Amino acid sequence: MSLLFFSCKKKEKNISIYSYSLLNDDVGNFKLNITEKGGVIGFEYLNKIDTIGRLHLTYNKKLDVLITKADTFYSTKKAYNLKEIKFKFYKRKVVKSHTRSLVFNEKYGLLSNLAFGADYLFIKDSISKIEKEVLFKGVFLKLNEINVE
């Protein structure tokens, strides 16, 4: 008699991520660590320069929600496609002081954080200023479709 054990635990460490802001041309550098256990995936973005600059998201596959330290974000069922990857938009159910949206894919992680004065892209490849602007424009156009409905 033999027994087989399978683990549902997955880890990916130190994935280089570039962060681009809509407001300036500075490029941030992050390391992304992904852990998965069961139906929950953790995404931790660590700023290479600022030790306080840390962003942690938890994705619950079953509920299709993203959880941050302060909020829970729910799928809008709308998506933005980038290089054959489908990113879904997530929003808070109740708008507090301003609208905030996350553009996310469970295998890739966070593509964008869209909030008043704090719009960022998180890309695994370096991009030019023009590519950054085109990407922001595409994401905002899709976000406006959601806001109109």
> CA-to-CA distance for 113 and 105, rounded, in angstroms?
13
DSSP 94: S
Query: What is the structure's pLDDT at 8?
Result: 52
Q: What is the pTM of this model?
A: 0.83
Residue 54: which residues within 8 A CB-CB, separation 6 or more? 44, 45, 46, 47
Contact 21, 10 (CB under 8 A): no
pLDDT tens track for 103-139: 999 999 999 988 766 788 998 988 899 999 999 898 8
Which of 6-20, 58-72, 85-99, 116-130 reaches the highest mean pLDDT?
58-72
Start-to-end C-alpha separation, the chain = 59
Confidence of residue 17 (pLDDT cuts 50, 70, 90): very high
Confidence of residue 74 (pLDDT cuts 50, 70, 90): very high
Task: Name the nearest CA neighbour of 41 among 66, 58, 56.
Answer: 58
Query: What is the structure's pLDDT at 48?
Result: 73
Parse the chain into domains and list their residue ranges: 9-148
Average pLDDT of the residues in 2-26: 72
* Residue 23 burial class via C-beta count within 10 angstroms: exposed 0-12, middle 13-18, buried 19 and up: exposed
Average pLDDT of the residues in 26-32: 89
Query: What is the structure's pLDDT at 9?
Result: 63
Instruction: With a cut of 90, say whether residue 147 has pLDDT above it.
Output: no
